[in-house]
């Protein structure tokens, strides 16, 4: 029985060698393809059959999520009415290693009659796909990782890499930024890290713990207990933050026997607490709270004018899946 790891390594070596060969022999028409898409007023239609179709789906998703509107169109569905999604302003990326897929080539003349531009991605410069394309990108393949040189392996990897590279070029040329990325990825950990602001997660209004500077011990304890965040902000008569009282501050005062009937909020509060602004990214605040020399679990949120508008807790941030 052959050594399994040696077979795996050989397959990887075959794909890596083909990828390096592809990189060293890049078709200049890749730039023409990117320029065509940039100038287009429509969307990108990505199509292919079989394994190339699977790669086409992934490329369309990558394009869409990085600022280039894209749609996967299966050639068979296109032959039965779905070609109606294509407009004269669109660019079609047609993927096929041999370039001789009947299902794919059958639909391309229709898409051309609609007015769309065809970019063929193939390893065969003399193929029907190349003949039907306005721009042809040749993807040279040294060898499939399959020992029979039949199963699409190196060829699909290279097609995928090319699609990713085109998407990244478009992303950079369009100056697509993190905030744009967040707009298209609102769910999941990545989306939350990019899109959630402190104003989205802070405890505010009747959930926010706040007492006046003149508040006594009973009022402070009631506020901290009822709001369940382990702290309360202290404000002046205009609503501006003047300090923060945490459970720790109260325990410290008790230990030091500094609490009596006349004690006020100003006697126990930290007058210079760390605070954050509502527009700060929630993930950035999480990192700041955890990476301090002495991490904090709760912090007030204030406006630029120092108006106390909310409280953020480490627990709440972690519950959001950041």
Q: What is the DSSP letter of 39?
A: H
CB contact at 8 A, 74 and 65:
no
Annotated binding residue 74? yes
Residue of 59, 206, 32 lying closest to 118 (CA atoms): 32
Annotated binding residue 21? no
Q: Give the SS3 label for residue 176.
A: coil
Annotated binding residue 267? yes
Alpha helices in the chain (DSSP H): 4-24, 29-39, 51-65, 75-79, 102-114, 128-132, 154-173, 178-184, 188-195, 198-201, 217-227, 247-255, 265-268, 282-291, 314-319
Residue of 127, 129, 124 lying closest to 141 (CA atoms): 124
Class of residue 170 by CB neighbours under 10 A (exposed 0-12, middle 13-18, buried 19+): buried
Helix (H) or strand (E) holding 99: none
Binding residues for substrate: 74, 80, 214, 267
Binding residues: 74, 80, 214, 267
Binding residues for Zn(2+): 74
């Amino acid at each position: 029985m052959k050594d399994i790891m040696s077979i795996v390594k050989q397959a990887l070596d075959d794909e890596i060698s083909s990828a390096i060969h592809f990189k060293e022999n890049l078709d200049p028409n890749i730039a023409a393809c990117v320029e065509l898409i940039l100038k287009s007023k429509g969307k990108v239609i990505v199509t292919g059959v079989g394994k190339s179709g699977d790669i086409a789906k992934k490329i369309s998703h990558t394009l869409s999520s990085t600022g280039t509107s894209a749609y996967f169109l299966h050639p068979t569905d296109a032959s039965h009415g779905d070609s109606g999604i294509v407009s004269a302003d669109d660019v079609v990326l047609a993927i096929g290693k041999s370039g001789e897929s009947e299902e794919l080539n059958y639909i391309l003349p229709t898409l051309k009659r609609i007015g769309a531009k065809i970019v063929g991605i193939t390893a065969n410069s003399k193929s029907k796909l190349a003949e039907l394309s306005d721009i042809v990108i040749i993807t040279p393949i040294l060898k499939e990782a399959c020992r029979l040189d039949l199963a699409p392996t190196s060829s699909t990897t290279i097609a995928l890499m090319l699609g990713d590279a085109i998407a990244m070029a478009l992303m950079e040329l369009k100056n697509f930024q993190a905030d744009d990325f967040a707009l298209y990825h609102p769910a999941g950990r990545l989306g939350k890290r990019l899109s959630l602001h402190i104003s989205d997660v802070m405890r505010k209004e009747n959930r926010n713990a706040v007492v006046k500077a003149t508040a006594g011990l009973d009022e402070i304890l009631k506020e901290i207990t009822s709001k369940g965040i382990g702290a309360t902000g202290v404000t002046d008569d205009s609503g501006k933050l003047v300090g923060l009282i945490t459970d720790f501050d109260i325990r410290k005062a008790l230990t030091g026997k500094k609490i009596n009937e006349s004690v006020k909020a100003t006697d126990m509060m930290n007058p210079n607490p760390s605070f954050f602004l509502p527009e700060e990214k929630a993930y950035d605040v999480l990192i700041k709270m955890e990476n301090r020399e002495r991490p904090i679990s709760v912090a007030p949120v204030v406006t630029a004018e120092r108006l106390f508008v909310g409280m953020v807790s480490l627990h709440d941030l972690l519950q959001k899946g950041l």
